[in-house]
Structure 1
Amino acid sequence: MSEKIYDLHCHSTASDGVLSPTEVVRRAVENGVNVLALCDHDSIVGLAEAKAEADKQGIQFINGVEISTLWTEPGSGRGIHIVGLGFNPNSPEMTALLAQQAVLRLQRAIQIGEKLEKIGIPNAYQGAKALACGEVTRAHYARFLVQIGKVSNDAQAFKRYLSAGKPAYVKADWVDIETAINVIHQAGGLAVLAHPLRYNMTNRWIKRLVADFVQWQGDAIEVAGCGQSREQRQLVAGWAVEHHLLASVGSDFHFPCAWIELGKSLTLPDNVTPIWTQLG
């Protein structure tokens, strides 16, 4: 019998993905995934739909969310993503935190639209909102800018307009990492440091981030993701072992593409402890 394929980090139209929760589950099944967690940005509205489809398809479903946080250590604050897995979605602490994050997301989305208006791109908020099934994110603005011909792809939209230092960038005042971890724990879940090598930091700073995460009682780190080299995976696995963190896996799937796909290349090294040993 072949080993199970886990994918514990993916997105749907409940945040900035392009497939509905049902479609995400079906695609995961087509790709051989046996255990799936939907982790939309600061949103759990897609969990019930995804769980219903997972039950229908006969695969295990784990409640997930990706919480946007700020790490203040580098000075001005850096956005870091903390994934919560296996929590109670009806937890009052989780409900309150996500409601707070939703307010921040709305404020940020409106401000981005106002900045685009000032540089000659009118009705951007309305255009981005038309592309979103829920909260409006920078990804929806990127798709809108592609749609109206300002850029040729999403990456260009971020590079020219939406990234830090660009004309339409708006910094968000997210919750701090320690609070996010505490809320995940209060809801009965495990807290995971998402994609640690994708924060555009030196290894020195990433190691400080991991140390802070451990100090704040974080549980796991994403060791396996799409598009990694063997050396990168071994590096993160080493941090997991050094800090006694559980090892998670996740494609961070948002839309169908060749290099990031549900269940693709998510094998863990032998020297780590998989997070599913603690998920039940």
Structure 2
Amino acid sequence: MIDLHTHSTASDGTDSPARLVEVAALAGIKTLAITDHDTTSGWAEAAESAGRFQIGLVRGAEISAIARTTGWGTGVHLLAYLYDPTHPDLVAETERTRDDRTSRARRMVALLGEDYPITWDDLLAQTQAGTTIGRPHIADALVAAGVVRDRDEAFATMLRTGTRYYVGHYAPDAVATVKAVRAAGGVPVFAHPGADARGRVVPDSTIEELAAAGLAGLEVDHRDHTPDTRRRLREIAQSLDLLVTGSSDFHGSGKRNLIGENTTVPEVLEAIVEQGTLEVLR
């Protein structure tokens, strides 16, 4: 039971890093990756909890990026595993992304506040110190205000791309990000690359370009992938000699995803560890 994609309150999950590890251990997970958005702030707490519950911990992050190879910008998420968290280039980019996420959230809350009873203080009440702020926290504030029932309703209505409340945010170039993760000694895996229900996805040619830049694998087994999409992604991974992972993308009560609902085989984890700079904490 290896789950390589989960989130805590360090970004948009609802469990603290310590509680995330506990939930994983109770579910029978033997090795867990903590991959909060654009931050490593949950690593230390998760590591302490991993020792207490005797579970392997893969330290990572989910890094926001933009693929520009198609003539337009398409958002992609890269899971970066076992990298040096002090690497200056990667630190600079993730800090810039987090700062712009906060500015973007302020603008979105201001727009929403023109029509709904929501303020910036309402959003902050849904976060903790150091949290990477994102749309899920706006959704939580809307739920608390009684505007929507849950995050899903918020994202299906006022928070979706294209509404008058939606504001984009900065993200680095995807090819450059893959190279930066490798330069930091990490292992980059493309998260949910075929999740077209979330919006536009990149064409196969972009995956080929990312692979040429050092992409290590594709997250194939994911709740947002249909059986046909999984088959297609497996074929792409095989043709490009990429690793295939499976993960839950667990967010606590923030999403319906269940921890361990998709998993990665031990041989793939071993390959990731061989390529990474950090060790799995046990």
Distance 2:19 2:203 in 1: 34
Aligned residues: 271
| CA shift for structure 1 position 34 | 0.9
Distance 1:226 1:97, change over 3 A: same
Residues 267 and 135 of structure 1, relative CA distance in 2, 3 Å threshold: closer
Q: Superposition RMSD on alpha carbons, in Å?
A: 2.3
Instruction: Write out aligned runs for 1:111-130 (5 A).
Output: 111-118=107-114, 120-130=115-125
Shift of 1:207: 1.5
Secondary structure class of the residue paired with 1:40: strand
CA displacement, residues 13-59 of structure 1 (integer Å, 9 cap, x when unaligned): 00000000001100111111111110001111001110111122111
Query: Which segment drifts farther, 217-226 or 185-194?
Result: 217-226
The sequence identity of aligned pairs, in percent, is 28
How far does the alpha carbon of each residue in 1:144-200 deviate from its partner, in whole angstroms, 9 at most, with x for none? 111212122212211221111112100112111022112211211101100112144
Compute the TM-score of the two structures, normalised by the length of structure 1. 0.89
Mapped partners of 1:132, 1:169: distance in 2:
20
Residue 279 (1) aligns with residue 276 (2): no
Q: Is the Cα–Cα contact under 8 Å of residues 196 and 206 in structure 1 kept in the other structure?
A: no
Q: Which runs of 4+ in 1 moved over 6 A?
A: none
Structure 2 distance, partners of 1:15, 1:256, is 13
Q: What CA distance in whole angstroms lies between the structure 2 residues aligned with 1:35 and 1:155?
A: 29
Gaps of 5+ in 1: none
Find the counterpart in structure 1 of residue 25 from structure 2: 29
Are the structure 2 counterparts of residues 257 and 125 from structure 1 closer, same or farther at C-alpha, using a change threshold of 3 Å?
A: closer
2:105 corresponds to: 109
Displacement after TM superposition at 1:250 (Å): 1.5
1:132 matched to which residue of 2?
Answer: 127
Q: Distance in 2 between matches of 1:155 and 1:43?
A: 24
178, 181, 194: which is aligned to 2:191? 194
Please list, as runs of the form range in 1=range in 2, the aligned pairs for 1:133-172 lying within 5 A after superposition.
Answer: 133=128, 134-172=131-169
- Secondary structure in 1 matching 2:168: coil
C-alpha displacement at 1:117, in angstroms?
2.4
Change (3 A) 1:276 1:206: farther
Conserved? CA contact 1:246–1:275, under 8 Å? no
Select the structure with the greater relative contact order (CA < 8 A; seq sep ≥ 6): 2
Gaps of 5+ in 2: 275-282
Once residues 227 and 199 of structure 1 are traced to their aligned partners in structure 2, the CA distance between those partners, rounded to angstroms, is 8
Amino acid at match of 2:125: A
SS at match of 1:39: strand
**TM-score (normalizing by structure 2):** 0.88
- Paired residue secondary structure (2:62): strand
2:54 corresponding residue in structure 1: 58
Q: Which residue of 1 aligns with 2:87?
A: 91
